[in-house]
Amino acid sequence: MKAKDILDEIIANKRFEVDYQKKILSPEQLMDTVSGVNNPKLSMREALLRSDTGIIAEFKRKSPSKGFIKENAVAEEIVPAYEKAGAAALSILTDEVYFAGTLKDLRTARSLVHIPIIRKDFIIDEYQLYQAKIVGANAVLLIAAALPLEEYKSSLAKAHELDLEVLLEIHSEKELEYITEDIDMIGINNRNLGTFHTDVENSFRLAMQLPSDSVLVSESGISDYQTIIRLRKEGFKGFLIGESFMKSENPGKELEMYIQSLKKSLSKE
What is the pLDDT confidence band of residue 1, given thresholds at 50, 70 and 90? very low
At 117 the three-state DSSP class reads strand
Q: Can you give the pTM of this predicted structure?
A: 0.95
* Helix or strand holding residue 35 (H, E): none
Catalytic, out of 51, 189, 202, 244: 189
Q: What is the DSSP string of 197-213?
A: -B-THHHHHHHTTS-TT
Asked if 91 and 251 count as a contact pair (C-beta separation under 8 A), the reply is no
pLDDT of residue 130: 98
Q: Is 169 a catalytic residue?
A: yes
pLDDT at 190 over 70: yes
233 catalytic? Reply is: no
Per annotation, catalytic residue among 14, 51, 60, 244 = 60
The pLDDT value given to residue 3: 52
CA separation (Å) from 252 to 75, 84, 91, 179? 11, 8, 14, 34
pLDDT value at 201 more than 90 = no
Other Cβ atoms closer than 10 A to 20: 9
Percentage of the chain exceeding pLDDT 90: 82
Return the pLDDT at 35.
84
Q: Report how far Cα 173 is from the mean position of its chain's Cα atoms.
A: 20
Average pLDDT over residues 122-141: 98
Stretch among 28-37, 77-86, 143-152 having the lowest mean pLDDT: 28-37
Decide if 156 contacts 169 (C-beta within 8 A): no
Q: Which of 14, 62, 70, 120 is catalytic?
A: 120
Does the active-site annotation cover 60? yes
What stretch of H or E contains 221? Answer: none
Q: Which amino acid is at 36?
A: G
Catalytic, out of 58, 83, 165, 175: 58
pLDDT for position 4: 56
**Catalytic residue chosen out of the listed positions 219, 237, 244, 254:** 219
Q: Is 145 helix (H, G, I), strand (E, B) or coil?
A: helix
Cα–Cα distance between 212 and 51 in angstroms, integer? 19
Helical H segments across 136-210, by residue range? 149-161, 201-207
Find the range with the poorest average confidence among 6-15, 83-92, 164-173: 6-15
Share of the chain above pLDDT 70, in %: 97
Whether 28 sits among the annotated catalytic residues: the reply is no
Give me the catalytic one of 126, 165, 169, 254: 169
- Look over the chain and give the mean of its residue pLDDT values, rounded to a whole number: 93
Q: What is the pLDDT of residue 266?
A: 87
Q: Among 220, 244, 254, 256, which one carries the catalytic annotation? A: 220
Strand 165-170 with 55-59, pairing? unpaired
Mean pLDDT of 245-259: 96
Query: Is 58 annotated as catalytic?
Result: yes
Q: Which of 104, 163, 111 is nearest to 138 (CA)?
A: 163
With cut-offs at 50, 70 and 90, classify the pLDDT of residue 192: low
Q: Is 227 helix (H, G, I), strand (E, B) or coil?
A: helix
Interval 167-187: pLDDT, tens: 999 999 999 999 999 999 999
Q: What is the DSSP letter of 191?
A: B
